[in-house]
Amino acid sequence: MGRYNNVSISVIRRLPRYHRFLEDLLNKGVHRISSRELAQKMSLTASQIRQDLNCFGGFGQQGYGYNIDALYAEIGKILGLDKGIKCVLIGAGHLGTAIGRHIPYESYGFNLVGVFDADPRVVGGELRGLTIKHTDEIENFCKLYNPKMAILCIPKDTTLEVVDRLYNCGVFGYWNFTQVDLQLFYDDIVVQDIHLGDGVMTLCYLMNEHGIPGEER
Amino acid sequence: MGRYNNVSISVIRRLPRYHRFLEDLLNKGVHRISSRELAQKMSLTASQIRQDLNCFGGFGQQGYGYNIDALYAEIGKILGLDKGIKCVLIGAGHLGTAIGRHIPYESYGFNLVGVFDADPRVVGGELRGLTIKHTDEIENFCKLYNPKMAILCIPKDTTLEVVDRLYNCGVFGYWNFTQVDLQLFYDDIVVQDIHLGDGVMTLCYLMNEHGIPGEER
């Protein structure tokens, strides 16, 4: 089905990071880099970089290094950032509003086409040029616009009910900020769980293990 | 230095998830669970759960299962969620405001004591009962309050300069929402990088590989 079926997920997860570093170099006016220099910048090994990029055909020339413009464009194409997959934001509270406003969706392969909330005080407001609709309208909206991805910024209790409805409308990608582990409930969806609480609890653990200076243990 | 030096980071990273699932069970009035049932809920194996929890001494009794109240409290203690590590939020734009308001810091082991922003239009405002101060005041504030963790919701360009100042004030834990890979620049800090863009680009890739229904490939 896919174009790069044999590429491991760990390589894929590194691609956005390459994309980010290459963009940074382009912004600084750098257009060519050796795998060794790039490796240094990213704290990887040159051979890992060559291996990673070879999964997709390889873009380097011995003795010349990588053409950053070409490599950047190609990684963008591999990631599919030119596709503009239609997505909806569910939940326009504090977090939803920030995620709605903060993310340059167009640069990341998405096109935000709808925003929904269950709170009548929020419905009718505006976010990123879109009028916030009531979650009751999800089905009608999906019939018209056919979004494929949903960003979930809703309370835990309502998550599964909302996802069930979105799923039945053909939404199969989820950027999930709720506390629910969505992957446990569906086999045939694609999920990025952002469990902010898990991350900050891990940070708490690591800081305590590191030892808080000035405190007795 | 630490209390559980031989515990692998992958076990540690699973602890917040255990904590979350156990809290959920307690909220539903469940107080005892077998490793098999817990494994099913979390999509792990019973032996993995027993192994994980044995790293910290083990809490189960054969034939009885786990006492959820005791296990939940113990994991909280292991993570150090009772410590109330003082933290500051740097950047009170859209994302910073949402992160400032949305996160129950007290439940995650932290105590938010200060909020800073460089924009004079934002300074003087209020966030979570705290008056937003100018970033110029970071050093004076740190001398007085001695925070150990900083949440970074600032633009990429200013990140390293701000972190340098915080680092010199003894801040060694960073919950990093910027696009900078902080770990590359300091050896002796503890970082949780939340690269939202990386996650959503990965989602884009996976959705394209999965195949968008109704679209030619």
Q: Please give the Cα distance from B171 to A203 (Å, whole number).
A: 13
Q: Which fold has domain A85-199?
A: Rossmann fold (3.40.50)
User: For the segment B62-108, what is each residue's pLDDT rounded down to a tens digit?
Assistant: 677 888 998 899 899 989 999 999 999 999 998 999 999 989 999 99
Collect all residues of chain A within an 8 Å Cβ-Cβ radius of residue B217: 1, 3
Q: Please give the Cα distance from B208 to A85 (Å, whole number).
A: 9
Q: What is the DSSP string of B115-168?
A: EEES-TTTTT-EETTEEEEEGGGHHHHHHHH---EEEE-S-HHHHHHHHHHHHH
Q: What is the pTM of this model?
A: 0.89
User: For the segment A118-166, what is each residue's pLDDT rounded down to a tens digit?
Assistant: 999 999 999 999 999 999 999 999 999 999 999 999 999 999 999 999 9
CA-nearest residue to B40 within chain A is A184
Going by C-beta distance under 8 Å and a sequence separation of 6 or more, which residues neighbour residue A28?
A: none
ipTM of the modeled complex? 0.90
User: For the segment B107-119, what is each residue's pLDDT rounded down to a tens digit?
Assistant: 999 999 999 999 9
Exposed (0-12), middle (13-18) or buried (19+): which is A27, by Cβ within 10 Å?
exposed
Q: What are the tokens at A92?
A: 């326009």
Rounded to a whole number, what is the distance in Å from the CA of B159 to chain A's nearest CA?
A: 14
Q: Please give the Cα distance from A12 to B125 (Å, whole number).
A: 42
Collect all residues of chain B within an 8 Å Cβ-Cβ radius of residue A175: 199-200, 203
Collect all residues of chain A within an 8 Å Cβ-Cβ radius of residue B204: 79-81, 83, 85, 108-110
Question: Which residue, B28, B45, B27, is CA-closest to B36?
Answer: B45
List the domain boundaries for chain A.
9-79, 85-199
Q: Does domain B9-79 have CATH number 1.20.1240.10?
A: no
B9-79 with B85-199: one CATH topology? no
Do the chains contact at A209 and B2, CB–CB below 8 Å?
A: yes
Long-range contacts (CB closer than 8 Å, 24 or more residues apart) made by B183-186:
B183/A43, B184/A41, B184/A42, B184/A43, B185/B160
